[in-house]
């Protein structure tokens, strides 16, 4: 019997959506105000879902305190109050769209969790716009 446990965290970050291979007009047409050369920011809400079997000894699928610590150390400390384009290695050459941010977070956490667990990341960029990975 599998059960899903979820942890919600928040971080604030700035970014600019921009493709350096395109001219300014194309970037503006595709990304609009998200292409502001002076960047813009979001209050991101992150939900990390871990699915697995309940451990009969602990009653846990995964220790939520441990999950929180992993997220804090490997995601929040790296991205909170940062300009994703300028302050992080992950997005120096990768457009920091919500989709790409979610995949990067998933990859970081996937590498830290035992393979027996399924992992899903939901990232809310705004109250109404969010992405999930994997879909």
Which residue, among 67, 77, 62, has the nearest Cα to 109 in the 3D structure?
67
Give the separation between CA 18 and CA 28, rounded to whole angstroms: 8
- Which residue in the list 6, 69, 81, 118 is annotated as catalytic? 81
**Do 71 and 48 touch, CB atoms closer than 8 A?**
yes
Give the separation between CA 35 and CA 15, rounded to whole angstroms: 9
107 labelled catalytic: no
34 labelled catalytic: yes
- Which residue in the list 34, 49, 74, 90 is annotated as catalytic? 34
- Which residue in the list 15, 18, 42, 125 is annotated as catalytic? 125
6 labelled catalytic: no
Residues designated catalytic: 34, 81, 125
């Amino acid at each position: 019997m599998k059960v899903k446990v979820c942890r919600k965290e928040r971080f604030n970050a700035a970014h600019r959506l921009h493709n350096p291979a395109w001219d300014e007009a194309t970037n503006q047409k595709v990304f609009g105000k998200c292409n502001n050369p002076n960047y813009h920011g979001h209050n991101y809400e992150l939900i990390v879902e871990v699915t697995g079997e309940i451990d009969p000894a602990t009653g846990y699928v995964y220790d939520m305190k441990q999950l929180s610590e992993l997220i804090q150390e490997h995601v929040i400390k790296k991205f909170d109050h940062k300009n994703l384009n300028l302050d992080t290695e992950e997005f120096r050459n990768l457009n920091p769209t919500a989709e790409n941010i979610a995949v990067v977070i998933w990859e970081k956490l996937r590498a830290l969790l035992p393979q027996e667990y399924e992992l899903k990341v939901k990232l809310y960029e705004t109250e109404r716009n969010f992405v999930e990975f994997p879909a």
